[in-house]
Amino acid sequence: MSQDKATTTAPKTMGHSWDGIEEYNNPLPTWWIWGFYITFIFTVVYWLLYPAWPIGGNYTKGLTGLHTITYTAKTVDGKEVEKTTHWNMRSKFLHEMNEMEAIQKQWFDKVASMSYDDVAKDAELMQFVNSAGKTLFSDNCAPCHQAGGQGKIGFAPNLTDDHWQFGGTYDEIHQTIEHGRRGFMPAFKEVLEDQQITQLANYVLSLSGEPHDASLATVGAQLFKSEEAGCYYCHGADAKGNTQMGSANLTDKIWLWADVDGKAGQEAKLAEVKRVITSGLDRGVMPTWGGRLKPEQIKLLTVYVHDSLGGGR
Amino acid sequence: MEASSSTNGVKKSPLLNRHIPIVTRSVKGKFRTFKTAVMLIAYSVYFLLPWMPWDRHNGASQALLFDLESRRFFIFNLVVYPQDIFWLAMLLFIAAALLFFTTGLIGRAWCGYFCFQTLWTDLFIMIERMVQGERPARLRLLKQPWNTEKILKMGASHGLMILVSFWTGVTFACYFTYAPDFLPKLFAGTAAEAGYITVVVLTITTYVAAGLSREHICTLACPYARFQSVMYEPDTLAVAYDVRRGEGTAGRKVPSKGLRTREERQAAGHGDCIDCGFCVQVCPTGIDIRDGLQYQCISCGLCIDACNNIMDSIGSPRGLIRYDSEQNIASPTPHKPHLDWKRPKVLGYAAALLIASLILGYNIGSRNDTDANVQQIRQPLFIVLSDGSVRNRYQVNIANRTDDDQRYELKVQGIPAKSLDIGNIPEIRVRAGKTLSLNVKVDLPADMARNTKEFFFVIIPTIADAEPVVIKTHFNGQ
């Protein structure tokens, strides 16, 4: 092999001299120069493939046809329209969301076409219900019912237990989501004496097996069924409530509005129940979701609430 | 005349030097034969394996298929799932231990005989020799101006290299997709984008690495080449030039009148090296082994073959360049070179290698076809039901690793059987190679809930002889 020139000879000069100043000729490495040339080739190819040069009010479109993007969007009045815009990230995002919706659609369609019972029997479809339902629930329901559907006493009912204020069948849950609900209990502070409210509260506590004054509860039981207080109009003579009007079952261990479990001691629990009877309730509002959610989304949420979250049985 | 790199006096970084193309001479000998044999086996395996059919009713009928789309690796009868990532760690550890072990024992055997850079470079040099002729012809071709002959010969050899590179890329892609489907699609232009990217990238990298860069990959780019050097010990066998024998007291000397026979040379103080330069000409990294052990040496043994042939022809004993240890070469009473494995480092690597292989083997052999895990749904932590009983909810994931759809039974242990509610699902059926997750509920009466801290889920496969999977789970009472 030949002797290596770079190690034995001094650098060459450019061959010119100004006032005795000479310039060394140290060229850039060949691979670097070639890399530089390749960027030129790349540029030309890029110009051909993609939108590049402005021409007056127009521009070169490129051969790939990527200068526009089409997506389907919902207008304010709920109509779906197809839009074509110049290529931009936001439109691309919407376009990709359309594609994802198309992929999900086959599953939503499957849920929509089957009966509730058949959906619940299909283990693989229930996997989809669990994951898609969780997203829908988090987006729409969680602000009131909390992320896991556990609700909040005095604000929104717990959907994971087996008590259903307005009924726990598939059809009843569907009705609740689609049309909304409104729970109401009148205030009794103008109607009853404080002593009577104490008697009623003791009776209510006794129904759930909470500590109470037995003699006061006995009187309370009479009052409950009397025309004077009229509790049984809504809660029923057996105090088990009525899902038609959303009155609570007072005999079970679940508290919807009075946070009895959260209070320690008989006095505090009593005061909590008395508070509800005295002031009544006008907060049990569930908004209507029909029109806001698509029918197949409501159906999927129904299965999710019934089977994945709760004790629909 | 060959100029060894040390004669310049000053060694400069090869990055700053002009690239001198290394044109190697072909050689015959036992190391060449071994290298060719390894090449044949390696290429047969690499290029043919994707085309090996394998009867499988759960996935493509290809013996070796890394199916990224279905997230399963099919390796003959073994199906590897993403959960088995631990195996990859073990495999990498074994590969590392094996590299350390062999390097400590016989130097850079990996580099010289098995590394794909060496194998493809070797093949491309063979292509060059086939098209352009032996070393002198190739050197002449390099020097001559670009005429028709040069363009034709250069074009043909590089065209062939690109063709081999392309087929290397296609074969690589075939490991990740069903090969008989992929090939027609590739040429019809209907294969997946990733397929084309793989083929193009592999074609370019193979051609650039083995066709253009060659030894520069080993000397400049490869980290293994550098860190293997630190694993050498004085006892490690390496390709070495016997300086004392070769140089004598008066140095190496080209045979001339009066210095032809061994006896004449020894009388004049000259060693056995006749400075023919063959050892340098055959070297794929262009070094002179007579300068001693160098980081560029990939330990391919071709200089040993070249020197042995010369020694045979001048009637001197073989082994002027041989596999020997640094210690033995320097010793005043050298013994016959042998593998010196009774060293703590070698034994240590061997032990690590053995243990890791056993662990991996045991792990693969004892893998359960049913993989299950349970996650508690913690929002809310527990639910009080209307009768005061307490409910916990769990997500049970069951993975079926068999080749068939399977049915499973889910039971609980440590609490009454009726506390478990799996919903309306009539039977738990999991498709072959898939995972099913179930949302299940466990209800316990209030007093039992207070005293239950944990219980067991039992997943019973309905396959004969299959072991049930038992998973300990916590229960949150009040």
Complex confidence, ipTM: 0.79
Select from A7, A121, A158 the Cβ nearest to the Cβ of B10: A7
What residues in B contact A120, CB-CB < 8 Å? Answer: 423-425
What whole-number distance in Å separates Cα of residue A12 and Cα of residue A27? Answer: 10
Q: What is the gyration radius of the CA atoms in chain B, in angstroms?
A: 32
For residues B171 and B50, the answer to whether their CB atoms sit within 8 Å is yes
In a domain, A190, yes or no: yes
Do A205 and A272 fall into the same domain?
yes
Which ranges of A156-193 does DSSP label H, i.e. alpha helix? Answer: 170-179
Query: How many angstroms separate the CA atoms of B239 and B113, rounded?
Result: 13
- Residue B387 token pair: 């009768």
From CA B125, how far away is CA A252, in angstroms rounded?
Answer: 87
Q: CA B298 to CA B295: how far, in whole Å?
A: 8
Q: Is B428 on the interface with A (CB under 8 A)?
A: yes
Residues A108/A110/A111/A115 CA torsion (nearest 10 deg): 160
Among A29, A44, A66, give the residue marking a domain's end. A66
Cα B250 to Cα B252: distance, rounded to the nearest angstrom? 7
Write out the two tokens for B26. Answer: 């072909």
How far, in Å, CA of B301 to CA of B322, rounded? 8
Q: Are residues A86 and A128 in the same domain?
A: no
Residues B411, B331: Cα–Cα separation, whole Å: 74
The number of distinct structural domains making up chain A is: 4
Residue A4 in domain: no
Distance CA A93, CA B249 (A): 80
The pLDDT of residue A5 is 46
Mean pLDDT over each residue of chain A, to the nearest integer: 89
Distance from the Cα of B443 to chain A's closest Cα (Å) equals: 11
Are A277 and A291 part of one and the same domain? no
Reported in sequence order, the residue ranges of B378-453 that DSSP labels E, i.e. its strands, are: 383-384, 390-400, 406-413, 420-421, 428-430, 435-444
* Domain shared by A51 and A79, yes or no: no
Q: Is B238 helix (H, G, I), strand (E, B) or coil?
A: strand
Q: Residue with structure tokens 């794909």?
A: B116
Which of A2, A5, A7, A30 to probe the B interface (max B CBs under 10 A)? Answer: A7
Per-position pLDDT tens, chain B of length 478: 334 444 444 455 555 555 678 899 999 999 999 999 999 999 999 999 999 999 887 778 899 999 988 888 999 988 898 888 999 999 999 999 999 999 999 999 999 999 999 999 999 999 999 999 999 999 999 999 999 999 999 999 999 999 999 999 999 999 999 999 999 999 999 999 999 999 999 999 999 999 999 999 998 899 988 888 888 888 999 999 999 999 988 888 898 888 888 888 888 889 999 999 999 999 999 999 999 888 899 999 999 999 999 999 998 999 999 999 988 998 888 888 888 888 999 999 999 999 999 999 999 988 888 889 999 999 889 998 888 899 999 999 999 888 888 999 999 999 999 999 998 888 999 998 889 999 999 999 999 999 999 999 999 998 877 889 999 999 998 6
Judged by DSSP in three states, B455 sits in strand
Query: What part of A 273-312 touches B (C-beta under 8 Å)?
Result: 307-308, 311
Report pTM.
Answer: 0.74
Distance, CA of A216 to CA of A56 (rounded, Å): 91
Q: Are residues A300 and A161 in the same domain?
A: yes
Specify the pLDDT at position B416: 94
A131 at the B interface (CB within 8 A)?
no
Asked whether residue A158 falls in the same domain as residue A300, the answer is: yes
- Angstroms from A193 CA to nearest CA on chain B: 31
Q: Is the confidence at residue A244, as pLDDT, over 70?
A: yes
| Contact across the interface for A1 and B20, Cβ inside 8 Å | yes
Answer yes or no: is A32 within a domain: yes
Chain A residues whose beta carbon lies within 8 Å of the beta carbon of residue B426? 121
Do residue A109 and residue A79 come from a single domain? yes
* Structural domain range at position A279: 184-285
Q: The tokens 């296609």 sit on which residue?
A: B170
Asked if residue A276 and residue A206 are part of one domain, the reply reads: yes
Interchain CB distance below 8 Å, B8 and A3: yes
Separation of alpha carbons B6 and B24, rounded Å: 20
CB contact under 8 A, A130 and B17: no
Using CA coordinates, name the residue in chain B closest to A261: B384
Residue with tokens 């194998």: B119
CATH number of the domain to which A228 belongs = 1.10.760.10
Instruction: Find out whether B275 and B116 touch, Cβ atoms under 8 Å.
Output: no
Per the listing, tokens 């508690």 go with B376
Separation CA B386–CA B437 (nearest Å): 28
In chain B, whose CA is at the least distance from the CA of A240? B386
Q: How far apart are CA A13 and CA B440, in angstroms?
A: 83
Q: Is the pLDDT of residue A6 over 60?
A: no
With respect to residue A142, please indicate whether it lies within any of the assigned structural domains.
yes
pLDDT of residue B225: 86
Percent of chain A with pLDDT over 90: 58
| Cβ-defined contact of A123 to B18 (cutoff 8 Å) | no
Per-position b or e across A179-201, b if 16+ CB within 10 A of its CB: eebebebeebeeebeeebbbbbb
Total residue count of chain B as it appears in this document:
478
- Is A313 part of a structural domain of the chain? no
Domains contained in chain B, CATH given = 20-230 (no CATH), 237-330 (no CATH), 370-474 (2.60.40.10)
Residues A52, A90 within the same domain? no
Task: Kindly state whether residues A165 and A300 are assigned to the same domain.
Answer: yes
Amino acid at B344: P
B-contacting residues of A 162-181, CB under 8 Å?
Answer: 162-163
Q: What is the rounded distance in angstroms from the CA atom of residue A308 to the CA atom of residue A159? A: 10
What pLDDT is stored for residue B463 in this prediction? 81
Return the number of other C-beta atoms located less than 10 Å from residue B258's C-beta: 10
CA distance B261 to B275: 15
Phi, psi dihedrals of residue B268, rounded to the nearest 5°: -85, 0
Identify the pLDDT of residue A14. Answer: 86
Q: Same domain, yes or no, for A291 and A176? A: yes
Residue B13 touches partner A, C-beta closer than 8 Å: no
**A2, part of any domain:** no
How does residue A2 score in pLDDT terms, banded at 50, 70 and 90?
very low
The contacts found for B212-215 with CB under 8 angstroms, 24 or more apart, are: B214/B22, B214/B121, B214/B124, B214/B284, B215/B22, B215/B121, B215/B284, B215/B285, B215/B286, B215/B296
For residue A252, give the nearest of B377, B386, B436 by CB distance.
B386
Residue A14: inside a domain, yes or no? Answer: no
Residues A225 and A157 in one domain: no
What does the pLDDT read at residue B13? Answer: 56
A12 located within any domain: no
- Rounded to a whole number of angstroms, the distance between the first and last alpha carbons of chain A is 89
- Cis ω before B380 (30° cut-off from 0): yes
Q: Write out chain B residues lying below 8 Å of A308, CB-based.
A: 439
Tell which of B208, B216, B383 to mutate to test the A interface (max A CBs under 10 Å).
B383
